[in-house]
Structures are given as C-alpha cells and as structure tokens.
A = this chain, B = another copy of it.
C-alpha cells in the first residue's frame, strides 16, 4: 500500500479525455501531477491550452521523452489511436506503469487491429501483458498490471450491461442487437466538416455501421469475461450533445428465463460495485451520469424478449473516470477515491 502521493504523468492532456483526466486527478487527494506531455502543446502551459484551468493549475507541457518519466509512478496516455504505440513501450521500459485510454492495446490480435483501425500495429509484442481495464470485471489482473488498456466508451456501456447475463448463460447469444448513441466528445478533437456545429445540431446519424473499431473489442471481451462467442450487431450513432452514451440492447432470453433471474443475476454481479447502479424499474437517464463515473443500467422483460438500457458519460466511466478507477486499484486505494464527491459517513 502506497502511503505517499502517487506521482502521475499525462500524455495528451490537450484533448477532451486529457482535460477530463486532469480535472479528476487535480481533485484526487492521493495524486500529484508531476508531468504533462504532448506534441502540439509542447512548450505551452496547460492553462494556456485549457483556459478553464486558469487559476486552478498550471504546468508546462513537455515533449514526451522517456527520460522525463523518472519519478513518475503511473503514466496516463490519452492520445488518438495509433499514437500510443510509440509511447507506451518507452514508458514500460523505464519501469513506469501505464494506463492507456486509447485502443492500441485492447485487441489481442494485431491483424484485427489493423483491419479496424486502419494502420499497422507496431508494438504487438506488448499485447500479451496488456490488461483490459474494465474494473468491475478484471480487478485482480488490474491490480498488478504494468499496462492497463482502458476500455472504449461504447464497449464499457455494453459489456457492463451484457456480461452478467452472458456469463450466467441466460441469453440466446445468437442475435444480440446493440444500438448506441454518443455525444460528440467521443469523436475527440476532430476538426472536420461533419463535426461542425451546424452539421451536428438538431440532427442524428448512424456512422461506421459494421465497421466501428469497437466491434472486435466488444466481441473479444464478451468471450473473455462472459465465456462464449456472442453474435451481435452494433450500430453507433452521433447525438447532438456534448457528452454521454446511451445504449439499448435487444436480446432474446433462453427458454424459462424471466425477469427474476435477470434481476438476481445483476444483483449478485454488481452488489459490491458502487459505480454500477441498477435502476430498474426506473429507466436510466443520461443526465444522471453526466460528469460522474457511474453506469446506470435498467432492463425490461416481455415474454422472452429482454431490453437492456445502459448509460455512461463517455468522458467519465467511458474514459477518464474508469482510468482513475483503475489507477486506484493499481495503487491499493478505494476504487471511489477521487471519483465520489462524498465525505459523508
């Protein structure tokens, strides 16, 4: 158990997940931010990059270099996909533990990575040691991990909802239909015509149908933690809001399985998981999880048809929140440290 402050570094603090991470780390009683690294922001102070941090926190952003990692206990990497692959090995080489918020180390098969991410994997030898950071399902492995692959936002909302039922073999896993909607921060700081305010506002659209890079991740971890191959269809959509993910899953239950089994299965899976709130019979509302690390799950059963509803903040439990939750596990702290505004007994 660490008694002193955890000394952390962040690579890619100029993005949206990066800023979210900074805000959480600044409010964490056991953390000291000692290094900020970036390319486009190198040489600037972080409160120049993020004016919302003026009078809150200021630190120079340096160019990433392994030498600068001396004394850093854990490095958060919040870079666009592909850009973590040069950075992560260097950090591991100097003994720094790493939590990667991107997708570079989530998939075990580098050929599939290339197929979905569109570029070659250049650090495949590190894949075996990467530990998937879905905290509620992989806590023991995360604890001793040197490299945590923080889950994607959509997968987090989907796996948390599906895994208990898949593992308990309550579902007919041959046709699971997943429809997810996400606020725009999920796309990162992408400057493109399609992401301009006028193009997104008051509109909705599906995208990357059948080709989203989270598809193999969902499949791999349904198998890893749920025990079976699940045949599913996943359709992501863009929502005209800043943050939040809402996932709706239609899945057939096996014969004889009803609401009671579903309810008790969720209960036993998440009884001690403070960040997963089972809200049924209420319906989850996205605004109840915004700016938090919570995942709210609801469900409804009609005959043998099950509907699962799951909502998270894509920047919270879908990225920075879960990353800090994993850091807490790695450093023997209560999972909720720095993630819960609560000094009450």
A206 within 8 A of B: yes
A26 within 8 A of B: yes
A242 adjacent to B201 (CB under 8 Å): yes
A86 within 8 A of B: no
**Could you say which residues of chain B place their CB within 8 Å of the CB of A233?**
250, 302, 305, 307
A244 adjacent to B202 (CB under 8 Å): yes
Distance from A293 Cβ to chain B, minimum over Cβ atoms (Å):
10
B202 adjacent to A342 (CB under 8 Å): no
**Could you say which residues of chain B place their CB within 8 Å of the CB of A195?**
196-197
CA distance in complex: A340, B292 (Å) = 17
CA distance in complex: A210, B300 (Å) = 8
Name the one of B200, B279, B344 contacting A54, with C-beta atoms under 8 angstroms.
B279
A23 within 8 A of B: yes
B279 adjacent to A204 (CB under 8 Å): no
Q: A209-B300, A341-B26, A343-B26 are in contact. Are A307 and B235 (CB under 8 A)?
A: yes
Q: List 13 A-B contacts (CB under 8 A).
A: A16-B198, A54-B279, A56-B340, A56-B341, A184-B197, A191-B196, A197-B242, A201-B240, A203-B244, A203-B290, A209-B300, A231-B305, A233-B250
